[in-house]
Amino acid sequence: MRYEMDTLADGTRLYSYDELKSMLAETKARRKERLLARDAVLILLYAHKEKPIYGRTALIKQLFLFFEEVVKKREIDAQEPRFVPYRFGPYSFVMMNTVDSLWHSGYIAIEGKKNSKKERFLLTEGGEKMASELFRHLPDEVQRDIQEKRKSWDQWGGDILQYVYTCYPRYKERSELKKKYGTIVWGQGKA
């Protein structure tokens, strides 16, 4: 839709109230369709809400896999999480800032010893309500896919790093653990 506008001598554009209202409604509708970093964290925790995610490393790896294996493969329009190779594989400052914001806002709870495998990430009552609404608006096949993946990622425990380093080797290059998780070459060797 094109909008008629008046322009002042200094280049300032003037819109009528109706034009501005229409532009804002279009922007809001486009923004609603986009998966935000906040939404991804809430949806991931909600997908297997009976079980918290243990440890920051597991949380960030599951978020990485969520974006790689659900969002990108299904071509879902989403906020860019900006994962980079880091000390323990793929890391996103955007996602961890989002986790901290959700905690400060009371949507997620973080319990246990910080930066340990006993640290737990789970939804609060308010977070579960918001996540439920987000999850409900996803297509059924996407909901099932996320639930299945989340359950399997939870079961992998520390092996999630092996999987990430094997399937996404570029994120291994700066890892402090890259020697511990050697490259697996499938189909090589003797039976």
Q: Looking at residue 70, what is its pLDDT?
A: 95
- Residue 165 placed within a domain: yes
State yes or no: pLDDT of 27 exceeds 70.
Answer: no
- Residue 73 placed within a domain: yes
Element housing 91 (H / E): strand 89-91
State yes or no: pLDDT of 129 exceeds 60.
Answer: yes
Task: Write the pLDDT tens digit of every residue in 49-106.
Answer: 999 999 999 999 999 999 999 999 999 999 999 999 988 889 999 999 999 999 999 9
Percent of the residues in the chain that have a pLDDT greater than 90, as a whole number: 58
What DSSP state is assigned to residue 71?
I
To which residue do tokens 């323990």 refer? 88
Give the range of the structural domain holding residue 102, as residue numbers without chain letter: 33-172
Question: Smallest Cα–Cα separation from 99: which of 165, 40, 158?
Answer: 40
CB 105 within 8 A of CB 38: no
pLDDT (mean) for 94-123: 94
Per-chain mean pLDDT for the chain:
86
The DSSP bridge partners found for residue 121 are 53, 110
- Residue 52 placed within a domain: yes
Q: Looking at residue 188, what is its pLDDT?
A: 60
Q: Which of 101-110, 112-121, 141-150 has the lowest mean pLDDT?
A: 112-121
What DSSP state is assigned to residue 171?
G
pLDDT band at 109 (very low <50, low <70, confident <90, very high): very high
Q: Where are the beta strands (DSSP E) in 93-179?
A: 108-111, 120-123
Whole-number Å distance between alpha carbons of 28 and 33: 9
- Residue 190 placed within a domain: no
- Residue 70 placed within a domain: yes
pLDDT (mean) for 103-118: 92
pTM for this entry: 0.76
CA distances to 22, 119, 168 from 95, in Å: 32, 17, 18
Judged by DSSP in three states, 60 sits in helix
What DSSP state is assigned to residue 78?
B
- Residue 102 placed within a domain: yes
163 contact partners, CB below 8 Å, separation of at least 6: 156
pLDDT band at 159 (very low <50, low <70, confident <90, very high): confident
- Residue 129 placed within a domain: yes
- Residue 5 placed within a domain: no
The DSSP bridge partners found for residue 54 are 120
Please report, for the domain that includes residue 70, its CATH number: 1.10.10
State yes or no: pLDDT of 29 exceeds 90.
Answer: no
Domain total of the chain: 1
Would you state the structure tokens that stand for residue 186, as one six-digit string?
A: 């499938």
CB 146 within 8 A of CB 44: yes
Whole-number Å distance between alpha carbons of 151 and 146: 9
Judged by DSSP in three states, 180 sits in coil
pLDDT (mean) for 101-122: 93
